[in-house]
Structure 1
């Protein structure tokens, strides 16, 4: 597999080496030893989540307060998604910046999102399914939600119609409001929050 650091420190794009034959395709989606050797991160899964969405559904931008913090290993297992990560770590050289990736089930491409970086996606196909392998179990009241339509972020969702968005995400604070409320983590040199 090829692991490339993205422009936001600590975030990685993972592209598997697919081995096709007459039966189909095989590839390794995740290898903890390889991820750790390239990133220096000892990612240990604690929970696996799936989200199924119809076309034009917009979910995010989501993160988790520290503690407990939550890193994510994200893979599209059905359909196609426009995936966006946003650096929410105060003091990061890329604070407030984003990175866009189109991920689909056919490529097997995954993303590693460290603690303190927000994540969201737009479903580009019907019945799109995303898998989140996360480093901590769900703890009620620790979620950080940022409005995915925050005009200051100006995220390029490029949705051809009004996206289907939850009431929670539509009413979430902007990044500026989250900073004023003291909700966002601080950046450390190790690239984590």
Structure 2
């Protein structure tokens, strides 16, 4: 696997080694020992999630407060999404900045998004299937949501799609009013 730090260095782009031939392809989508060696992260994943979305469905921007904060390893197994990770660590030099990356079943790229980031994605293709591993369990009382079109964040979403949100995501808070992560650590 190839691991690349992005403009916010704690967010990692992971590109697996894909073996392709006339029959199709094979790759290891996750292998704990290789992940830990290549990323220098000593974390464990606790839960796997799988979602399917139609074009224009935007999920996010979600996060969980400590002590139930979640790091995520995300990938797409069908279709294409615009994946967004927003740094919400109050004392981070990149607080309020975001990473935008196209993830697809064709490019097989993955993102590792650490604790202290809000996360969301928008389905660009007709449908998408999105898989992600989390470093902690889902804890509804700790979950928060930042409004997808928050003016302070100014995320550049595609303008040619009709955005569809869940009732919960429609109630997202502005970035200024959100409960951010008070402690920043690398």
User: TM-score with structure 2 length normalisation?
Assistant: 0.95
Tell me which residue corresponds to 2:182.
Answer: 186
List structure 1 segments (4+ residues) > 3 angstroms apart after TM superposition: none
Assess if the C-alpha contact under 8 Å between 1:3 and 1:35 holds in 2. Answer: no
Which residue number corresponds to residue 157 of structure 2? 157
What per-residue deviation string (whole Å, max 9, x for no partner) do you get for residues 150-179 of structure 1? Answer: 01111111131330112221221111011x
Structural mapping, 1:78-157, within 5 Å: 78-157=78-157
Distance 1:29 1:112 in 2: 13
Residues 122-154 of structure 1: CA distance to partner in whole angstroms, max 9, x if unpaired? 101122110011111112211121001101111
- Larger mean Cα displacement after TM superposition, 73-82 or 161-170: 161-170
SS at match of 1:43: coil
Contact 2:77 2:105 in 1 (8 A): yes
CA contact under 8 A between 2:90 and 2:184: conserved in structure 1? Answer: no
Q: Distance in 2 between matches of 1:27 and 1:156?
A: 32
CA–CA distance in structure 2, aligned partners of residues 112 and 170 of structure 1: 26
- Over aligned residue pairs, what C-alpha RMSD do you find? 1.3
Structure 2: gaps (5+ residues): none
Secondary structure at the aligned position of 1:38 is classed as: helix
Kindly state the Cα deviation for residue 187 of structure 1 after the two structures are TM-superposed. 4.2
Superimposed CA distance per residue, residues 14-56 of structure 1 (whole angstroms, 9 cap, x where no aligned partner):
0111111121111121222222223321221211111111001
Q: 1:75 to 1:161 in 2, by over 3 A?
A: closer
Q: Which residue of 1 aligns with 2:10?
A: 10
Unaligned runs of 5+ in 1: none
Give the alignment's TM-score, normalised by structure 1. Answer: 0.91
Q: Is the 8 A contact 2:84 2:121 kept in 1?
A: yes
CA distance in 2: counterparts of 1:74 and 1:81, whole angstroms: 11
2:140 alignment partner, SS class: coil
